[in-house]
Amino acid sequence: MSCTVFSIANQKGGVGKTTTAINLGWALAERKVPTLLIDLDPQANATSALGFEKTPGSSLYGALHGDGAAEERVIETRQKDLFLIGSEVDLAAIEIELGQQEDYLVRLREVLKPLRESGKYRAIILDCPPALGMISMNGLAAADYLLVALQCEYLAMEGLGQIMGVVDQLTSAGVNPNLAVGGILMTMYDKRTNLSRQVVQEVKEHLGELVFDTHIPRTVRLSEAPSFGQSIFEYERLGAGSHAYKKFAKEFIKRFGLK
């Protein structure tokens, strides 16, 4: 079973990146796609959103320093076929420490290699911090595809060119020549407003088919679910948010051939 690595990154916070990471992972697992979610954000929001504590030694911090293997940090979640490597505060130190290593841009890729080759997972989702620092750069260097969660606001669009430029730099410099932009997911979409429709239209004009057909709606339930340590599928199974992420997972599987 081949494994594809997806890095969900955006230097802007509050755009639905972690919400997408956990709910996409859950929805893929429900459709019997074995998925590993890796929380690379020191704030550990994806970890707590799935109901797990920030436990010392649970993140990839040690593995990135050559202390143990990534496989040892994998834990099962409540959803069959969804696995997690959590995060912790110590991971923040990696931003400084990785820069002192010779292979600082590809360290994560090497750490993930045994997981990719294990045959246990069809998809690995990396939830990167809301900054284009050392961790996010490692996430992009280790990924096959970048996924961008983009809030339906004009200010969110300003940073899109920046992260697309980083992809160009990593590919042209030979750091990750196979990295491609897998798609743009429009989040916090409000069909009642002209602004949401205008932003989607403008992004589609520039990026065409890279923009997913599915738009994630702005709902209170999607914002509430993480505070209860639950995916949207547990918190509001029949709501607009769960419906959207179900639809997105179906589109995602088809686009990347995960079945």
**Distance between CA atoms of residues 89 and 87, nearest Å:** 7
The pLDDT of residue 29? 98
pLDDT band at 14 (very low <50, low <70, confident <90, very high): low
Q: Which residue has the tokens 């897998």?
A: 182
Q: What is the share, in percent, of the chain residues with pLDDT greater than 90? A: 75
- Comparing 8-17, 160-169, 205-214, which segment has the lowest mean pLDDT? 8-17
The pLDDT of residue 174 is above 90: yes
pLDDT digits 0-9 by tens, 74-106: 999 999 999 999 999 888 888 888 777 778 899
Q: Which residue has the tokens 């992420």?
A: 245
Q: What is the share, in percent, of the chain residues with pLDDT greater than 70? A: 98
The pLDDT of residue 162 is above 70: yes
Q: What is the average per-residue pLDDT within 64-68?
A: 90
Beta bridge partner(s), residue 187:
151
* Domain limits, the chain: 4-256
**Distance between CA atoms of residues 202 and 211, nearest Å:** 11
The pLDDT of residue 126? 98
Q: Which residue has the tokens 């505060």?
A: 89
The pLDDT of residue 109? 96
Which residues does 134 contact at the CB level (< 8 Å), separation at least 6? 94, 95, 96, 98, 99, 104
Which amino acid does the sequence have at 87? S
The pLDDT of residue 178? 93
- Assigned superfamily of 4-256: P-loop containing nucleotide triphosphate hydrolases (3.40.50.300)
Q: What is the average per-residue pLDDT within 5-23?
A: 87
Half-sphere exposure (CA, 13 Å, Cβ side) for 55?
12
Q: What is the average per-residue pLDDT within 21-27?
A: 98
The pLDDT of residue 159? 76
The pLDDT of residue 30? 97
Q: What is the average per-residue pLDDT within 113-130?
A: 96
Bridge pairing between strands 35-39 and 145-151 = unpaired
The pLDDT of residue 10? 79
The pLDDT of residue 13? 65
- Mean pLDDT, the chain, rounded, equals 92
pLDDT digits 0-9 by tens, 40-53: 999 999 999 999 99
The pLDDT of residue 204 is above 80: yes
pLDDT band at 160 (very low <50, low <70, confident <90, very high): confident
The pLDDT of residue 152? 86
